[in-house]
Amino acid sequence: MLSIAFVLGTRPEIIKLAPVILEVEKRKIKHTIIHTGQHYDKNLSDEMFDSLDIRKPDINLDVRTKIPHKQLSEIIAKIGETILELNPSIVLSVGDTVSVLASSLACIQNEIPFGHIEAGLRSYDFTMPEEINRRLVDHMSSILFAPSERAVLNLNYEGIDPKKIYHTGNTVIDSIRIFNELIHEKKTDSADNILEEIKEPYILTTIHRIANVENKTNLEEIVKTLVSYNEHSIVLLIHPRTRKKLEEYDLLQQLSQNRKVHLYSPVEYLSLLKLLKHERCLFVLTDSGGLQEEASLLRKPCITIRPNTERPETVEHEINFLVKTASSQIIKKIKQVLSEDFEHRFNSFGSPYGKGYASQKIIDLIEANYKILSHKSPENYRSGSKSFYILELGTSMEKEAIEEQFQCQLISTFDENGYPKLIKDKLKKGDRVRILRD
């Protein structure tokens, strides 16, 4: 009988796993919710689970250390013991946190299938811990659920077995579709209080990324921006780590110099959606990953204080703008965004992350495949091991014909200019194919 263990450790993971958990509950599939404690605040976590209509975690691993390597090792040890006892059919996690990396490592060591939701996102920035985490996790996963075609291409390009990869869309879009309808039915006190206090147009702001908050120079530039910009109100949802660093660098008091800067603790998800979609919200200023997607779906422009993003589709459609951590450049970009009309851009953006039904696709795939997911030992290879080769097609060929003729597995494809393409059933003359063969 199918049984699923969900592992989560941060607020974004709760948000993105919530629709998958609801789908599992709807189908009456046996499941266990495990909270690692990576980012744990009892009141806030309980509020999150309540507002999203999912039960509180069955198991809390109570990991308290914030030192990255100690946190990773402690979660691995505790997750390993827990999943050995539970012996689930599959463990599911979403994203790129320490909790996700630890879960995948514990699973591969104990030969338990692991499914990675939001697989294939890439910033190609190896200074980001998240980039390291997601790459490692993808290569250890038994089944990968990619949120976009770009994510599928990234996984193909890295040589991951295409049979493990499924394009499902992103569950954060499911969350918006499902929970957006509950805004008027459930309590959104946090948002209501903010909207009652701020009657004028505002910029919704979140800053939490390590490169920004733990680098004093970068954090000073962001504070300088918030203090000097006074044309509109700024709603700053202040992450605990951000607050700690602002205090440590003696920057928190500076924010009070601008009466238009309003500081608030993080809000529950329904309140976040309410603040984001409200007509008085002008745009989003952030360094978050998920908020870029949420803003794009709710038709709000976004300025991302980062040199890169794992959501490049939003940048290509010019609804999301990357900006360096420099006050003058951030303010310049704010003025640019306020001066432009985005209606046509949002109309042409489409739905690169899906239409809000990724959860159903994911559970359908798990129900169809969980019995065959395993960590198999390799067969004996004639040449000692398999190797990658590049072929250029002299004629159009079916994918199956290529694999049969060359006794290989087709891993990725490129056009005549070398650009990666999604693997199709039929490939054209001039296409280059990367194959894996003995």
Query: Cα(97)–Cα(421) distance, rounded to whole angstroms?
Result: 29
The packing angle between helices 11-26 and 42-51, to 10°, is 40
208 classed as catalytic: yes
State how far the Cα of 301 lies from the Cα of 46, in Å rounded to an integer.
Answer: 31
Residues 6+ apart with CB under 8 A from 155: 119, 120, 138, 144, 146, 165
Phi, psi dihedral angles at 142 (to 5 degrees): -85, -30
CA 196 centroid distance within chain: 31
Scored b (16 or more CB within 10 A) or e, 397-432 reads bebeebbeeeebbbbbbbeeeeebbebeeebeeebb
SS3 of 51, please?
A: helix
Task: Report which of 224, 283, 284 is spatially closest to residue 258, judged by C-alpha positions.
Answer: 224
Pairing of strands 387-392, 432-437: antiparallel
- Of 53, 61, 5, 54, residue with least CA distance to 31: 5
CA distance 241 to 246: 9
Q: What share of the chain is helix, strand, coil (3-state, %, to 5)?
A: 45, 20, 35
**Are 19 and 175 within 8 A, CB to CB?**
yes
- For residue 28, the tally of other CB atoms under 10 A from its CB is 7
Q: How many residues does the chain have?
A: 438
Is residue 44 within 8 A of residue 35, CB to CB? The reply is no
- The beta strand positions in 194-345, using DSSP E, are 202-207, 233-238, 261-264, 281-286, 302-304, 320-322
164-190: string of b/e by CB count within 10 Å (b at 16+)? bbbbbbbbbbbbbbbbbeeeeebebeb
What residues form DSSP beta bridges with 5? 32, 91
Provide the β-strand partners of residue 369. Answer: none
Euclidean distance between CA atoms 222 and 241, whole angstroms: 15
Cα(51)–Cα(39) distance, rounded to whole angstroms?
Answer: 18
Catalytic residue among 69, 167, 208, 232: 208
Catalytic site residues? 208
